A and B are shown apart, each in its own frame.
Chain A
Amino acid sequence: MSLSREETARLADLARLSLNDDELARIAHDLAEIIDYMEKLAGIDRADVEPLSHVLNTVNVYRDDRAEPSLSQEEALANAPDRQGEFFRVPRIIDTGEGSEA
């Protein structure tokens, strides 16, 4: 089983990765291997097993609601590729349908 170019391109869009044709082709090929893994696991998968998300059994890890010092503005913006005064700056936003509320 392998993936169509269109499906691979859809994934690249979902992952916000600009990929060239060569990269797309190689990844489509590798995706087939992941599918093989998945199919092999079908042999041991059992619906009655609880999925394991954490190896530790700890629950309820909290902090108290106490304000702590933040970074300075300069520190916060220190690595910004583009900024305007006290803000990070980005080019215009074209709504994609999956974003935060506009």
Chain B
Amino acid sequence: MRKVTERDDYEVVVGIEVHAELATESKVFCGCKTDFGARPNSQTCPVCLGMPGALPVLNRRALEYTIRAGLALNCSIAVRTKFDRKNYFYPDLAKGYQVSQYDIPVAHDGYIDIEVDGQPKRIRVRRVHLEEETAKLVHAGDDIISANQSLLDFNRSGIGLIEIVSDADMRSADEARAYLTKLRSILVAIGVSDCKMEEGSMRCEANVSVRLRGSKEYGTLVELKNIASFRAVHRAIQYESARQIDLVRSGGRVTRETRHWDDARGETAFMRSKEQAADYRYFPEPDLMPLEISREWVDEIKSGLPELPDARAARYAREFGLPASDAALIAESRELASFFDGVCDALAKAGAEAVDRTDGPREAAKWLVGDVSAALNASGIELSQSKLAPELLAELIGLVASGKISGKIAKSVFEEVFASGKRPGDVVRERGLVQISDAGQLAAIVQRVIEANPGPVSDYFAGKEKAITFLVGQIMKETRGRANPQETNRILREELAKRA
């Protein structure tokens, strides 16, 4: 695989089309359930099987979710819209046409703000429209008899689907990945889709072209399909842009085509030419009435929008003084954000003595982006699947803040809490980890250490400040780390001063 992806003389131009399945209870035009993983063809009816005479009726919530997505992506909402039939034949398409929207999408002209390497950038969202899912094709190749055949499950047929089309505003694989990450975090935050790429409830296609830097004209566009993860988006765009740049540099010409991303091989492969546009024969769907979306309804949906990731990150930074990067990282994940909110609530409730109103949340954020994320990565589970609860992390933070344990001990307590779900206080008690802060007790230990280490003591008097570190280390060794560091330091200096 080529390593070079962006070269100084060429720039990459990327537009992204995302399909997200709506998290409605029933399908968009019939009452069948939308549960993932049900027995094949057990969630179908004459409508979603395209039986003769069956007719569609619009699920109001599917439209509401589309409007909600449009608003969250800063779009304008159409006052009057309609459905159109997109006609083509494919075995996964029950009616020989897909009910979709052609010239009047529900939402149009919005944007998403992203940040790459500290550089903010606005990516325009051209349109958001509502359409229906196709059936699921299973390519049966596991035995010789069925190798040449495909199987169809219509459970997916007719699930509500929103298509979100960006403008060709991205200039790197990093920007494309940031756009997708932000888009997903918004859709998940507003509850319209679970956006699980691994289950196929979110899919993306990237349109990639390259051009000489500074050129006003776009290069020939190549459509990339079969991108099944965020990582794949990044890799596919990197690979494809490098391929195009190499091609152009060596005097070749990029052709308008669709290419298939092969994740295992890490390369794109030719799928089909797009020199001739498909003839979809769009026309207004006569079986569905037009839609008039009232200002009142749009306002109502807007006022019901939850806090979006950007606003949340800004609030975290403002209210708690979180560093911008931590705030963004937490706000982008609905799971992390709600966990963080839970910790803050628990801290406030405990009134946690010595935990300052902003210190606590800052500590919580540090834990979340640090040890918690590391532990989750190491164990390969989601936060919601772990035994860690917001109250436990809050208690741990409280123990440190009140001086019961040191920060270093806290890390070891965390490991046990994460693994077992035990209360941090119990772990500290069981393992006798309570910090020694009592001045008398500490003074005795300090004296012992001073007497046992005459060499370093004289080094200290000779001006070697470093010797102090050694002596503190010896005290920690003696107390198995439980000595309060600040107190130890203070008493040690006092005792040494007496002997000066």
Contact = CB atoms under 8 A, between A and B. Distances in A.
The 9 closest A-B pairs by CB, nearest first: A68-B31, A87-B151, A65-B61, A62-B60, A99-B90, A98-B278, A88-B152, A86-B40, A53-B284
B279 interface: yes
A20 interface: no
A101 interface: yes
B282 to A, nearest CB: 12
A76 B48 CA distance: 10
Interface of B: 24-26, 30-33, 39-46, 49, 57-63, 82, 88-93, 98, 134, 137-140, 146, 148-154, 203, 205, 225-226, 258, 260, 271-274, 278-281, 284, 286, 288-292
Contacts of A76: 41-42, 44, 49, 154
Contact of B148 (A68, A70, A92, A95): A92
Contacts of A59: 289-292
A77 interface: yes
Contacts of B286: 53-54
Chain A at the B interface: SS class: loop
Interface string A68-87: 11111100110000001111
Nearest to B46: A71
Contact of B88 (A56, A87, A95, A99): A99
A66 B26 contact: yes
Nearest to A15: B89
B57 A63 contact: yes
A59 B291 CA distance: 5
Most buried by A among B273, B288, B290: B290
A95 B271 contact: yes
Given A65-B26, A93-B91, A87 B60 contact: no
A88 B151 contact: yes
Interface of A: 14, 16, 51, 53-54, 56, 58-73, 76-77, 84-93, 95-102
Given A53-B284, A65-B25, A70 B61 contact: no
A73 B45 CA distance: 10
B44 A101 contact: no
Nearest to B284: A53
15 contacts: A60-B289, A61-B289, A63-B60, A64-B61, A71-B45, A73-B41, A85-B40, A87-B152, A89-B146, A89-B149, A90-B91, A92-B149, A93-B137, A98-B280, A99-B89
Nearest to B88: A98
A63 B279 CA distance: 32
A56 B150 CA distance: 42
A100 B203 CA distance: 12
Contacts of B137: 93
Contacts of B31: 63, 66-70
Contacts of B33: 67, 70
A38 to B, nearest CB: 15
